[in-house]
Structure 1
Amino acid sequence: MQRRSLLIGATTLLGATTLAARAATPTAALPVAQVWKDPSCGCCKDWITHLQREGFQTQLFETGNAAVRQRLGLPEKYGSCHTARIGSYVIEGHVPAADIRRLLAEQPKALGLAVPGMPVGSPGMDGPEYGGRKDPFDVLLVMADGSSRVYRSYFRS
């Protein structure tokens, strides 16, 4: 009887330790975000900070992004001030981290996500200098053939 109680106690302790370890570890490690930007762009730095706050590790290349955007096959019409490669996807512009997480979880057959231009209110374009302004914008899912569809809309009524 004493041996059985000891085994049950050990199993319970092992189970609790395993649960605690699982709770402390993220469900899936996020891939490193490789980001290409112009060295003088402040909003790009703010977007990178947004990613880091959301658990992404970043690798920065301050060489501009036009050449890498072209190399990765993203059409110019989706262009913004920075381009990232996260996992097998291209991320262009001020895409919210939540949408990148969703993309990585769903793994659609696509080139990646884009927020063309630099909409005020998007991550990195949401600092105090904008006075709380939030312009509507769409996150686009860009397909390999260059077509796109709205992946998520922000600030639309």
Structure 2
Amino acid sequence: MNRSMTSLLLSGALVLGATATAHAAPVPDEATLYKNPQCGCCDGYAEHLEAKGIKVTVIDDVDMGEIKQEAGLPYGLGSCHTVEIGRYTVEGHVPFEAIEALFDQQLRIDGIGLAGMPIGTPGMPGPKKEDWDVYQFTDQEPMPFMTL
């Protein structure tokens, strides 16, 4: 292999490596969780985030429908609480692994969510019984994000 070809390949590898690492970002250390005052599993989810080093401000005196609409959540895919973290919205009992993936990928989306209140998810009692399908969304349009 000639010297110019070797230089070209090495330059390309350096550019690709820099591109791959340039998009990753740490998960912010603060979040706001919106919920209804009576919901205890939401408090459990806040504790899950706090155990991961995130300071959570809990707000439980808001119109949840309005919060979800402003966040651009897809109709019918809501949960009991909505979290604002960094520039994203996280809907429901999304495991921290998915939140880390969201910030690693730095997607141009509104957020991610896990519909309903699946047993075994952070904040929900019981063992995991099925795969959890985390979706991503933008402007109320859902798409698959990851399965855990």
Identity %: 33
> Scaled by the length of structure 2, what TM-score is found?
0.75
Larger radius of gyration: 1
Partner of 2:112 in structure 1? Answer: 113
Q: How does 1:3-152 map to 2 (within 5 A)?
A: 28=26, 30-64=28-62, 65-125=64-124, 127=125, 130=126, 132-144=127-139, 146-149=141-144, 151-152=145-146
Q: Which residue is 2:3 aligned to? A: none
Q: With structure 1 as the length reference, what TM-score do the two structures score?
A: 0.71
For structure 1, the residue ranges without an aligned partner over 5 or more in a row are 1-26
Number of residue pairs matched by the alignment: 123
Instruction: In structure 1, give the amino acid aligned to 2:72.
Output: G
CA-based RMSD: 1.9
What are the ranges of 5 or more consecutive residues in structure 2 without an aligned counterpart? 1-24
Describe the shift of the 1:145–1:49 C-alpha distance in structure 2 as closer, same or farther (beyond 3 A): closer
Deviations, residues 26-45 of structure 1 (Å, cap 9, x unaligned) = x9462411110011111111
SS at match of 2:91: strand
Distance change (3 Å), C-alpha of 1:36 and 1:145: closer
Shift of 1:118: 0.6
Which whole-Å CA distance do the structure 2 matches of 1:48 and 1:93 have between them? 11
